[in-house]
DNA sequence: CCGGATATTAGACAAAGTCCAGATTGCCGT
DNA sequence: ACGGCAATCTGGACTTTGTCTAATATCCGG
């Protein structure tokens, strides 16, 4: 896989390819997520985008993240009851969550196999399977 | 497995067997969870316990649920970013979450097999593996 | 350069959960 | 029964995450 540079210019193309109108704020938010390739919460995104001086409002950060989600640009990771994380990696993968530090990392789905799941209830389709391995520092 | 009656009297014994002092409020909360055998959120527990007239404060409900959690009487299920569910079933199992209705049901772990997980980071122990199948009503 | 659609904003609001200081309860030994 | 101590419970203020709204700003085609 070719490593790609997540410049702000490239972000515009990325957004367009997902049918998202590339505005200044959206580019900044996408850049925050993709240049780091990390799991960020909404308030972390806020903090990053507004480091120099306040540029983007809370409402826009939330609106934009929801938009990215709908357009399939990012994924939502629900592991912490107090906040949602957004994951710029949309390829199939699972998560490792360090309970005490709150650190969240990816587990490639390629070698993981899940079998024996019961059939779905009638009229239902799978939207996704989340596998979360919760770990703790050994006592 | 013998079916058991979750009477309030039996709750006292259950609590004691988990090193929890059985008070009136704790018995009511345990009864709410175990007699239904359902996943309840804190505010659902509140509503159930206070149906007739207000008996138990919000603080106590939260304190008690946290206590039950620490003592291993219930499990936490994190699927909805807006609220935590408490699960009286502590035997190993997974979850099926109907995204649009919010309905949450159990998947017996007995026949499900997960293989190929990478080794844990050094000095870490698994606290639990959560598998959540998210489903949606077919369009 | 006009007008409509799209995006952004500040700030009020809502809901889940935490915290604290004071009141209650239960229980012990006497 | 009684005083006292520890454990528990309580109302209410507070925090945090996230939503909503009405007003403003920006963009773009003609």
**B116 three-state secondary structure:** coil
Mean pLDDT, rounded, for A68-73 = 96
- What is the domain-level CATH number for residue A53? 1.10.10.10
Half-sphere exposure of A86 (CA within 13 A, CB side): 26
Query: B36 lies in a domain?
Result: yes
What integer pLDDT is reported at residue B75 of this predicted model?
96
Task: Provide the mean pLDDT of chain B.
Answer: 93
Residue-wise pLDDT for B65-78, tens only, equals: 999 999 999 999 99
Query: A54 lies in a domain?
Result: yes
Query: B57 lies in a domain?
Result: yes
Mean pLDDT, rounded, for B103-121 = 94
Task: Provide the mean pLDDT of chain A.
Answer: 93
Distance A57 CA to D23 C1' (A): 15
Query: A93 lies in a domain?
Result: no
What integer pLDDT is reported at residue A1 of this predicted model?
55
Using an 8 Å CB-CB cutoff, list chain A residues near B78: 78-81
Query: B129 lies in a domain?
Result: no
Percent of chain B with pLDDT over 90: 87
Residue with nearest Cα to nucleotide D15 C1': A82
Residues 6+ apart with CB under 8 A from A129: A114, B131, B132, B133, B134
Percent of chain A with pLDDT over 70: 97
- The secondary structure of residue B5, as a DSSP letter, is -
Query: B119 lies in a domain?
Result: no
Query: B72 lies in a domain?
Result: yes
Residue with nearest Cα to nucleotide D17 C1': A83
Distance B81 CA to D16 C1' (A): 13
Mean pLDDT, rounded, for A59-82 = 96
Residue-wise pLDDT for B33-75, tens only, equals: 999 999 999 999 999 999 988 889 999 999 999 999 999 999 9
| DSSP alpha helix (H) spans, chain A | 8-17, 24-36, 42-49, 58-70
Closest Cα of chain B to A37: distance in Å? Answer: 20
Mean pLDDT, rounded, for A110-119 = 95
Question: Among A1-10, A50-59, A80-89, where is mean pLDDT lowest?
Answer: A1-10
Using an 8 Å CB-CB cutoff, list chain B residues near A120: 96, 133, 135
Range of the domain at A44: 8-86
Give the residue from B124, B126, B138, B139 with the most A CB atoms within 10 Å of its CB, the best one to mutate: B124
Half-sphere exposure of A62 (CA within 13 A, CB side): 5
Mean pLDDT, rounded, for A54-78 = 96
CA distance B119 to A25: 40
**Residue B23 reports pLDDT greater than 90:** yes
Smallest CA-to-CA distance from A15 within A39, A36, A42, A34 is with A34
> Are the beta carbons of B33 and B45 closer than 8 angstroms?
yes
Query: A74 lies in a domain?
Result: yes
Percent of chain A with pLDDT over 90: 84
CA distance B78 to A76: 13
Q: How many domains does chain A have?
A: 1
Instruction: Provide residues of B within 8 Å CB-CB of chain A.
Output: 76, 78-81, 84, 96, 98-99, 107-108, 111-118, 120-121, 123-138
What integer pLDDT is reported at residue B5 of this predicted model?
82
**Nearest Cβ partner for A117 among B112, B126, B128:** B112
Using an 8 Å CB-CB cutoff, list chain B residues near A138: 123-125
Pairing of the two strands B83-87 and A124-137: unpaired
């Amino acid at each position: 896989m070719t490593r790609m540079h997540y410049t702000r210019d490239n972000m515009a193309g990325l957004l367009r390819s997902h049918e998202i109108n590339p505005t200044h704020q959206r580019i900044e938010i996408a850049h925050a997520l993709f240049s780091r390739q990390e799991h960020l919460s909404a308030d972390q995104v806020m903090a990053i985008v507004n480091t120099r001086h306040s540029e983007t409002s809370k409402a826009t950060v939330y609106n934009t993240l929801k938009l990215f989600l709908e357009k399939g640009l990012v994924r939502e990771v629900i592991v912490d009851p107090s906040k949602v994380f957004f994951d710029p990696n949309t390829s199939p993968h699972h998560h490792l969550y360090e309970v005490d530090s709150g650190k969240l990392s990816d587990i490639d789905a390629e070698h993981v196999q899940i079998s024996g799941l019961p059939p779905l209830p009638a009229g239902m389709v799978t939207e996704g399977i989340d596998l979360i391995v919760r770990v703790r520092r050994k006592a």
